[in-house]
Structure 1
Amino acid sequence: MSQTDLFVLSGVIGLLLTVGLVGRKKFATTQAYFLAGRELRWWQIGISLFATNFSAAAIIGLTGAAYLTGIAIYNYEWVGIIAMVVFAMVLAGALRRSQVYTISQYLEERFGQTVKIAYSAFVIFLIIFIDMASALYAGGMLLREVFPFASVNLIIFVIMLLVGAYSVLGGLSAIARTDVIQTVVIAVGAFLVAGYTFHAVGGWSAFVASAPEESLSLIRPLDDIAVPWTGLITGVPILCAYFWFANQNMVQWVLSAKSEGDARRGLMMAGFMKVVVLFIIVLPGVAAVSLFPGLSQADRIYPTLLFELLPTGILGLVLAGFVAAIMASVDSTLHAASTIITMDFVHRGRKELTPKQLVWTGRIITMIIICFSAIWAPQIGHFGTLFEYVQGVLSYAVAPIVVVYLGGWFWQRATSSGALAALVSGVATAILIGILQQTGYFTTHYLHVPLPVATVSLVALIVVSLTSKRHVPPEDRLLVRDTASLTSRDGVIALALTLLVGLQVIAFW
Structure 2
Amino acid sequence: MLDLVLVLAFVAYSVNAGLRARRLASRDLGEYFLAGRTLRGWQAGASMAATQFAADTPLLVTGLVALGGLGALWLLWIYGLSFLLLAHVFAGPWRRAGVLTDAELVEQRYGGRGSLALRACKALYYGGVLNSAALAMVLVGAVRFTEVFLPWHAWLPAGFIDPLARAVGEFAGGFVASSTVAPEVAGADALISVVVLMGFTALYSMTGGLRAVVATDIAQLAIMIVGTVIYAGVVLVDLGGPGGIVDALVARHGAAQAERWLSLGPGSELGPALLVVLALPWLFQASSDGTGYLAQRCMACTDEAEARRAGVMFAWLQIVLRSLPWVIVALGLLVIVPPGPGAVDVAAREQTFVQGIDLLLSPGARGLMLVAMLAALASTIDTHLNWGASYWSHDVYGRLWCEALRGRKPSGRELVWVARAANVALVVVALTLAARIGSIQAAWHMSLLFGAGIGAVLLLRWTWERINVWSEFAAIAASLVLAPVLLLHCDEVPLRLSLMAIASTGITVGVALCTPRAEPAVLAEFYRRVRPPGFWGRTATALGEEPRASRRELARGLGRVVREGLGLYLALYGSVRLLFPLPGEGRLGAVVALAIAGGLVLWSRRRGD
**Fold in common (TM above 0.5):** yes
Mapping of residues 158-307 of structure 1, within 5 Å: 158-211=196-249, 212-221=258-267, 223-224=269-270, 228-233=274-279, 235-238=280-283, 241-243=285-287, 245-274=289-318, 275-294=320-339, 297-307=348-358
Structure-2 change in CA distance of 1:195 and 1:226 (3 Å): farther
Bigger Rg over Cα: 2
Question: Once structures 1 and 2 are overlaid, which stretch shifts more, 169-178 or 296-305?
Answer: 296-305
- Show the counterpart of 1:422: 475
| 1:72–1:217 contact (8 Å) kept in structure 2 | yes
Specify the code of the residue in structure 2 equivalent to 1:255.
Answer: M
1:318 maps to 2:372: no
Structure-2 change in CA distance of 1:292 and 1:282 (3 Å): same
| 2:71–2:267 contact (8 Å) kept in structure 1 | no
| 2:51–2:379 contact (8 Å) kept in structure 1 | yes
Mapping of residues 14-413 of structure 1, within 5 Å: 14-26=12-24, 27-111=26-110, 112-150=115-153, 151-211=189-249, 212-221=258-267, 223-224=269-270, 228-233=274-279, 235-238=280-283, 241-243=285-287, 245-274=289-318, 275-294=320-339, 297-348=348-399, 349-351=401-403, 352-380=409-437, 383=438, 385-390=439-444, 392-413=445-466
> Which of 470, 476, 482 pairs up with 2:517?
470
Equivalent position SS for 1:236: coil
Equivalent position SS for 1:103: coil
Equivalent position SS for 1:215: helix
Structure-2 change in CA distance of 1:156 and 1:338 (3 Å): same
Specify the code of the residue in structure 1 equivalent to 2:18.
Answer: G
Cα distance per residue 1:176-222 (max 9 Å; x no partner):
11111101101100101111112212211121233333112232246
Structure-2 change in CA distance of 1:485 and 1:462 (3 Å): closer
Offset of 1:225 from its aligned partner?
Answer: 9.4
Cα distance per residue 1:115-172 (max 9 Å; x no partner):
3233222212444442211112211321221121241001010001100111001100
- Show the counterpart of 2:500: 453
RMSD: 2.7
Offset of 1:501 from its aligned partner?
Answer: 1.5
Offset of 1:359 from its aligned partner?
Answer: 0.6
| 2:81–2:282 contact (8 Å) kept in structure 1 | no
Q: Which runs of 5+ in 1 are unaligned?
A: 438-442
Partners of 1:219 and 1:341 lie apart in 2 by: 43
| 1:19–1:178 contact (8 Å) kept in structure 2 | yes
Question: Once structures 1 and 2 are overlaid, which stretch shifts more, 101-110 or 261-270?
Answer: 101-110
Specify the code of the residue in structure 1 equivalent to 2:282.
Answer: P
Structure-2 change in CA distance of 1:489 and 1:95 (3 Å): closer
Partners of 1:34 and 1:276 lie apart in 2 by: 28
Partners of 2:34 and 2:370 lie apart in 1 by: 30
Partners of 2:328 and 2:283 lie apart in 1 by: 25
Offset of 1:387 from its aligned partner?
Answer: 2.3
| 1:82–1:498 contact (8 Å) kept in structure 2 | no
| 1:426–1:454 contact (8 Å) kept in structure 2 | no
Offset of 1:402 from its aligned partner?
Answer: 1.1
| 1:79–1:237 contact (8 Å) kept in structure 2 | yes
Specify the code of the residue in structure 1 equivalent to 2:443.
Answer: Y
Equivalent position SS for 2:436: helix
Offset of 1:426 from its aligned partner?
Answer: 4.0
| 1:238–1:451 contact (8 Å) kept in structure 2 | no
Partners of 2:568 and 2:194 lie apart in 1 by: 38
Specify the code of the residue in structure 2 equivalent to 1:285.
Answer: A
Specify the code of the residue in structure 1 equivalent to 2:34.
Answer: L
Cα distance per residue 1:339-364 (max 9 Å; x no partner):
01111110112132101100111011
Question: Once structures 1 and 2 are overlaid, which stretch shifts more, 195-204 or 461-470?
Answer: 461-470
Offset of 1:16 from its aligned partner?
Answer: 2.2
Specify the code of the residue in structure 1 equivalent to 2:147.
Answer: R
Question: Once structures 1 and 2 are overlaid, which stretch shifts more, 491-500 or 14-23?
Answer: 491-500
| 2:298–2:307 contact (8 Å) kept in structure 1 | yes
How many residue pairs align between the two structures?
Answer: 494
Partners of 2:3 and 2:29 lie apart in 1 by: 40
Structure-2 change in CA distance of 1:104 and 1:229 (3 Å): same
| 2:49–2:317 contact (8 Å) kept in structure 1 | yes
Question: Once structures 1 and 2 are overlaid, which stretch shifts more, 159-168 or 489-498?
Answer: 489-498
Equivalent position SS for 1:229: helix
| 2:223–2:371 contact (8 Å) kept in structure 1 | yes
- Show the counterpart of 1:440: none
| 1:395–1:449 contact (8 Å) kept in structure 2 | no
Query: Identity rate of aligned residues, in percent?
Result: 22
| 2:282–2:288 contact (8 Å) kept in structure 1 | no
Equivalent position SS for 1:228: helix
> Taking CA–CA contacts closer than 8 Å with sequence separation of 6 or more, which of the two structures ends up with the larger relative contact order?
1
Cα distance per residue 1:377-426 (max 9 Å; x no partner):
2322xx2x212322x11222012221221111111011223332333234
Partners of 2:464 and 2:564 lie apart in 1 by: 30
Question: Once structures 1 and 2 are overlaid, which stretch shifts more, 186-195 or 344-353?
Answer: 344-353
Partners of 1:218 and 1:243 lie apart in 2 by: 26
> Which of 5, 8, 13 pairs up with 1:7?
5
Structure-2 change in CA distance of 1:257 and 1:470 (3 Å): same
Q: Which runs of 5+ in 2 are unaligned?
A: 154-188, 250-257, 404-408, 534-548, 583-609
Partners of 1:229 and 1:435 lie apart in 2 by: 23
Equivalent position SS for 2:329: helix
| 1:38–1:257 contact (8 Å) kept in structure 2 | yes
Superposition TM-score, scaled by structure 2 size: 0.76
| 2:69–2:267 contact (8 Å) kept in structure 1 | no
| 2:201–2:378 contact (8 Å) kept in structure 1 | yes
Offset of 1:504 from its aligned partner?
Answer: 2.8
Partners of 1:495 and 1:277 lie apart in 2 by: 21
| 1:30–1:359 contact (8 Å) kept in structure 2 | yes
Partners of 1:457 and 1:244 lie apart in 2 by: 14
| 2:60–2:441 contact (8 Å) kept in structure 1 | yes
